[in-house]
């Protein structure tokens, strides 16, 4: 299969190298287009007021892989690849393997998830992969799971508007509890802005904080409560697979506004 791989940790990150090389070894036709530096938490940002530059990268990937370093965001990378660098669309867009989890509300900020979502917006099946640790450097279990998952998705394709967000627990392969189909949970952060002064006496702020993982996760409007959240399942050492969509319409909100009569053409303001 033809695969386009991107990330938000940058072209030299171990996670993307492990994923790309593993899939190239499996016989896939792999192209890598990644930011030239870390672009974590950039969300779905695009570069509109500066040029986007791309340079070929040699020698750090499997010899069959074509790789580019891009000056833009993760979403820029996928857009540029699909619009300018690739001769034909890939069968899949993959993002990762991210160094750190993308669980719950993290997906709203994640460059990893946004890169994969860019593929979905173009009608291409897409998967985001994350290793749920900022310290562990062992990406091979996640890469092996990606290889297995692609075989399954080739046989049973995802719905066209679905992004699959996959998180792998930071444990040895033999200690993984299994695979859990999950719903999106909530992660809250205790955030602080550290006030500092630069050598010229000017004040600046540095965002810092730590995650607060709640034991109780909220119920979902349309899914039964026995389906765990990604936050719960990763804590129990499961690989989590959460289907996401870009349509953020709140169904309950639509019905509420209709009940208010705000869709009535006779309503006056």
The SS3 assignment for 212 reads: strand
Global pTM reads 0.90
Beta-bridge mates of residue 33? 68
CA distances 125 to 54, 140, 171, 251, 264, Å, are 24, 23, 28, 25, 39
The answer to whether 31 touches 81, Cβ cutoff 8 Å, is: yes
Tens of pLDDT, residue by residue over 203-253, are 988 887 677 665 566 666 666 677 889 999 999 999 999 999 998 888 888
Name the CA radius of gyration of the chain, rounded.
Answer: 20
DSSP letters along 95-117, please?
Answer: EEEEES---GGGGGT-HHHHHHH
Q: Residue 214's pLDDT is what?
A: 58
Q: Residue 187's pLDDT is what?
A: 77
Closest C-alpha among 115, 142, 132 to residue 39: 115
Q: Which two tokens stand for residue 215?
A: 């034991």
Domains and CATH numbers, the chain: 2-183+223-253 (3.40.1210.10)
How large is the greatest C-alpha to C-alpha distance in the chain, in angstroms?
A: 67
Tens of pLDDT, residue by residue over 48-93, are 999 999 999 988 999 999 999 999 999 999 999 999 999 999 999 9
């Amino acid at each position: 299969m033809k695969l386009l791989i991107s990330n938000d940790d940058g072209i030299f990150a171990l996670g993307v190298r492990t994923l790309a090389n593993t899939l190239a070894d499996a016989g896939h036709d792999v192209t890598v287009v990644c930011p030239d530096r870390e672009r974590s938490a950039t969300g779905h940002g695009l570069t509109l007021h500066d040029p986007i530059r791309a340079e070929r990268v040699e020698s750090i990937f499997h010899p069959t892989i074509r790789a580019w370093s891009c000056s833009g965001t993760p979403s820029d990378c996928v857009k540029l690849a699909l619009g300018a660098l690739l001769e034909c669309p890939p069968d899949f867009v993959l993002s990762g393997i991210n160094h750190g989890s993308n669980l719950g509300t993290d997906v709203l900020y994640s460059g990893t998830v946004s890169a994969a979502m860019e593929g979905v917006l173009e009608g291409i099946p897409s998967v985001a992969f994350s290793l749920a640790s900022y310290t562990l450097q062992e990406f091979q279990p996640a890469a092996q799971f990606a290889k297995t998952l692609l075989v399954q998705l080739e046989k049973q394709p995802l719905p066209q508007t679905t992004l699959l967000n996959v998180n792998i627990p930071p444990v040895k392969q033999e200690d993984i509890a299994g695979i859990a189909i999950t719903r999106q949970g909530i992660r809250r952060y205790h955030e602080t802005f550290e006030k500092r002064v630069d050598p010229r006496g000017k004040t600046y702020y540095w965002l810092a904080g730590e995650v607060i993982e709640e034991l109780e996760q909220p119920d979902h409007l349309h899914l039964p409560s026995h389906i765990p959240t990604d936050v719960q399942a990763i804590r129990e050492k499961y690989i989590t697979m959460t289907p996401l969509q870009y349509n953020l319409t709140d169904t309950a909100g639509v019905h509420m506004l209709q009940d208010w009569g705000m869709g009535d053409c006779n309503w006056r303001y």
